[in-house]
C-alpha cells in the first residue's frame, strides 16, 4: 500500500509549472529554458497543443488539441554517467507505467526502451533529451505524451485512458499523479538503488521471454527477449541460437 501523500518525501517542493496554450514542442521550450534562463530543477512545461511535437527516432508526436497530457520536466541528474544513463529511462518509464495502471485499472507494460503499452497498444511515449558535460549528465528534458481523452487515432496501434476506462481520465489529475510517481522513482535513482530499478523494469518488460518479430539491420528477425543489459541494450536470443545485445539504432520491434 502506498503511504499517504503527506508522508511521502517530495523531491521538488516548489516546482514551477509553465502552462502554455500552444507551442512547437514542450521539449524544445524546456531545452531553451535550460540554455538561457537557469530554471529550477523539477520545472514542468505543459501545453494544450503542440504544432511540432517530437517523437522518438525523428518521428512526430500527434495529439488533438486539449485532449492529452503533453509535458516536459527539467532535471539535473549530474550524478549520472554514460554507464548508468539508461536508469533514467527506466525510472521515467516505471513512473509513467504506474500512473497508467492507476488510471486504466489494466495490466500495463513497458515496451523497450520506453513505450507504455496496454492491451497491445501504445498509450504513452517518452522522449528524453540530455546535455552532457564531459562524462557527466548536465541536464535532461523528460518529455512525456500520454493519451488521455483522444479516442480516434490514425495509427490503429494507439489507445488512450478514455478508450480503456471511459469513467476515468482527467489531464490535470494525470499530471499531478505523474509528478508524484516521478518523485517516487527518481528518489530510488538518486539513492543509487539500481538493482531494484532494474528488477522492476524487467518485471514489466513487454514480451519478456516471448518470441517476437523485429527488424534488425533491415532484416526480419524472430527472437526472444531475455532482458536489457546495463547500457540499456535489448538482449535477444535468436531462433538460430545466437545471443544479441542490440542498441536503439540497430533494432526495431515489428509492432
List residues near ligand BTN by CB under 6 A.
Answer: 25-27, 50, 53-56, 59, 61, 70-72, 115, 125-127, 143-145
Least distance in Å: CB of 187 to ligand BTN?
23
Closer residue to ligand BTN in complex, CB, 54/162: 54
Query: Which residue bears the cell 534488425?
Result: 216
Q: Which is nearer to ligand BTN, 20 or 208 (CB)?
A: 20
For the stretch 170-180, what's the b/e string if a residue is b when 16 or more beta carbons lie within 10 angstroms of its beta carbon?
Answer: ebeebbebbbb
- Measured from the CB atom, the residue of 45 and 219 that comes closer to ligand BTN is 45
Answer whether 139's CB lies under 8 Å from 79's CB: no
Cβ of residue 191: shortest distance to ligand BTN, in angstroms?
Answer: 27
Any idea what DSSP says for residue 172? H
Q: Please tell me the distance from the alpha carbon of residue 202 to that of residue 169, in angstroms, as a whole number.
A: 27
Nearer to ligand BTN (CB atom), residue 71 or residue 75: 71
Judge whether 141 and 27 are in contact, CB under 8 Å. yes
> Minimum CB separation from ligand BTN for residue 212, in Å?
18
DSSP 149: S
CB of 51 to ligand BTN, least distance (A): 10
12 versus 61: smaller Cβ distance to ligand BTN: 61
In the bound state, the residue with its beta carbon closest to ligand BTN is 125
β-pair partners for 144: 71, 126
In the complex, what is the shortest distance from the CB of residue 69 to ligand BTN, in angstroms, rounded to a whole number? 8
Distance in angstroms (rounded) separating the CA atoms of residues 107 and 119: 8
Amino acid at each position: 500500500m502506498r503511504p499517504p501523500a503527506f508522508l511521502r518525501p517530495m523531491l521538488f517542493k516548489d516546482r514551477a509549472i509553465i502552462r502554455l496554450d500552444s507551442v512547437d514542442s514542450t521539449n524544445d521550450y524546456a531545452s531553451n529554458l535550460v540554455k538561457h534562463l537557469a530554471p529550477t530543477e523539477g520545472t514542468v512545461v505543459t501545453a494544450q497543443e503542440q504544432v511540432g511535437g517530437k517523437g522518438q527516432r525523428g518521428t512526430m508526436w500527434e495529439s488533438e488539441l486539449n485532449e492529452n497530457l503533453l509535458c516536459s520536466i527539467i532535471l539535473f541528474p549530474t550524478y549520472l554517467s554514460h554507464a548508468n544513463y539508461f536508469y533514467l529511462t527506466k525510472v521515467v518509464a516505471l513512473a509513467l507505467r504506474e500512473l497508467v495502471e492507476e488510471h486504466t485499472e489494466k495490466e500495463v507494460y513497458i515496451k523497450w526502451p520506453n513505450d507504455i503499452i496496454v492491451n497491445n497498444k501504445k498509450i504513452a511515449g517518452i522522449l528524453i533529451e540530455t546535455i552532457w558535460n564531459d562524462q557527466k549528465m548536465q541536464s535532461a528534458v523528460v518529455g512525456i505524451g500520454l493519451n488521455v481523452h483522444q479516442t480516434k487515432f490514425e495509427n490503429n496501434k494507439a489507445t488512450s485512458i478514455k478508450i480503456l476506462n471511459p469513467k476515468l481520465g482527467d489531464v490535470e489529475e494525470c499530471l499531478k499523479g505523474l509528478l508524484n510517481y516521478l518523485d517516487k522513482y527518481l528518489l530510488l535513482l538518486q539513492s543509487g538503488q539500481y538493482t531494484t530499478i532494474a528488477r522492476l523494469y524487467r518485471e514489466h518488460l513487454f514480451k519478456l521471454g516471448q518470441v517476437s518479430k523485429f527488424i534488425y539491420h533491415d532484416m526480419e528477425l524472430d527472437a526472444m527477449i531475455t532482458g536489457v543489459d546495463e547500457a540499456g541494450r535489448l538482449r535477444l536470443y535468436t531462433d538460430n541460437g545466437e545471443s544479441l545485445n542490440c542498441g536503439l539504432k540497430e533494432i526495431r520491434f515489428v509492432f
